[in-house]
Amino acid sequence: MKITSSTQQYDINLYSSAKQAADKPVSGTISGLTHKTDTLDISENSRQLAASDIVNLTAVYFGTPQINESLNRLLSNKSPEVKEAAYGIIQSNIITNVNGDEERAVLLELGLSQAQYLADNYMNDGEAAEFMNTIRQIGAISQTRTVDAETKQFRYETPPRRPVGAPDDYMDLNYMMRKFEPETFGKLQEALANGKDWNSILQTFAKKASANTDWMKQYKEAAKPIEGYSGENRFEGASTSSMTEFVQDIKSLIGKTGFETSVTANIEAFMRTLENPITVK
C-alpha cells in the first residue's frame, strides 16, 4: 500500500522552525504547510496477493499527527507481531481497497474486534483505552472515503493538521490558504519553487486569516477533534480470552455476513500474524 499526498507541495513548518532557530523568531503561533488529504494507492499486484502470503510487514498509516503519535507510542514497546497486527488491521480492515459498502462495513467491524483482542491481551488498561479510541478515530476517517472519478484513487478527509505539542491557537495555514485563497496558495508554491520571497506571502496571509472572524469560525469548526466510530459491531461479543476462542466465535458469526470467504481469510491472516514470529533486521 502506498500513501501519497493529494498534491505535490512544499512542506514548511514554521512552528518547528521557530523552536529550532531562536535567532530567527516567527511572530505568532502559526505553522504547518502540510497536505490535507491522503490518497491511498494500492497496486494491482498487491490486490492479487494470496491471503496466505499477506503476513509480511504492512504500511504504517498516518491519519493525523495525533493518531500517528498515539500509535507510535503505544506500540513502541510491543513485539513486532503485535505492531504488524495493529497496522494490518488498519490496512486490511479499516482503510481498504474494497469497493462494496456492506463488505467494507463487515471488515471494519471485524477490525474493531481484532483491535479489542490486541488491547485486551497485549496492553494495560490505560493503553487499551487509548488504543481503541485511536482505532475508532481511524474508523471514523474511513467513513469519509470518496473515489476520484478520473484516477479511481480513494481519498479520506482529515481535520486541519495540528502538530503534537502545538499551542491551542495553532492554525493550519495550508488548509486555510487552500480553502479561502487558493490563488494565494498558488503564488506561495510558485515562490517556493523559484526561490523567491515566500515568507512575506505566508506572513501576510497569516495576519489576514487571524483577523477574519468568519474564516476563523469555519476553521475552528473543521478543526474539532475526530469523534471515534461508534456504529454497531456484529462481532462485538467474540471472546478475547484466547486466540482459539476468539477465532471460533468470529467464525461462528461469519455465515451471517454474506462475505464468508473474505472474512475467513481476514481473521486467519490476523491469527497467523500474531502466531508467527517476525524477524526484524
225-254 pLDDT tens trace? 888 998 899 999 899 999 999 999 999 999
3 state DSSP class of 264: helix
Q: According to the 3-state scheme, what is the secondary structure of 21-82?
A: CCCCCCCCCEECECCCEEEEECCHHHHCCCHHHCCCCCCCCCCCHHHHHHHHHHHCCCCHHH
CA distances from 261 to 113, 155, 159, 255 (A): 18, 27, 35, 9
What is residue 40's predicted lDDT score, i.e. its pLDDT?
35
Q: Which stretch of 14-23, 86-95, 102-111 has the lowest confidence by average pLDDT?
A: 14-23
What is residue 166's predicted lDDT score, i.e. its pLDDT?
82
Mean of the pLDDT values across residues 89-112? Answer: 94
What is residue 162's predicted lDDT score, i.e. its pLDDT?
82
What is residue 23's predicted lDDT score, i.e. its pLDDT?
32
Specify whether the CB–CB gap between 25 and 199 falls below 8 A: no
In this model, does residue 38 exceed pLDDT 70? no
In this model, does residue 51 exceed pLDDT 90? no
Mean of the pLDDT values across residues 155-172? Answer: 83
What is residue 165's predicted lDDT score, i.e. its pLDDT?
83
Q: Which stretch of 48-57, 62-71, 105-114, 148-157 has the lowest confidence by average pLDDT?
A: 48-57
pLDDT interval class at 56 (50, 70, 90)? very low
Mean of the pLDDT values across residues 203-212? Answer: 92
pTM assigned to the model: 0.72
Specify whether the CB–CB gap between 260 and 104 falls below 8 A: no
What is residue 150's predicted lDDT score, i.e. its pLDDT?
85
Specify whether the CB–CB gap between 106 and 259 falls below 8 A: yes
Q: Which stretch of 15-29, 107-121, 193-207, 217-231 has the lowest confidence by average pLDDT?
A: 15-29
Specify whether the CB–CB gap between 142 and 155 falls below 8 A: no
Q: Looking at per-residue confidence, does 276 or 6 come out higher?
A: 276
Q: Which stretch of 13-17, 86-90, 95-99, 173-177 has the lowest confidence by average pLDDT?
A: 13-17
What is residue 77's predicted lDDT score, i.e. its pLDDT?
94
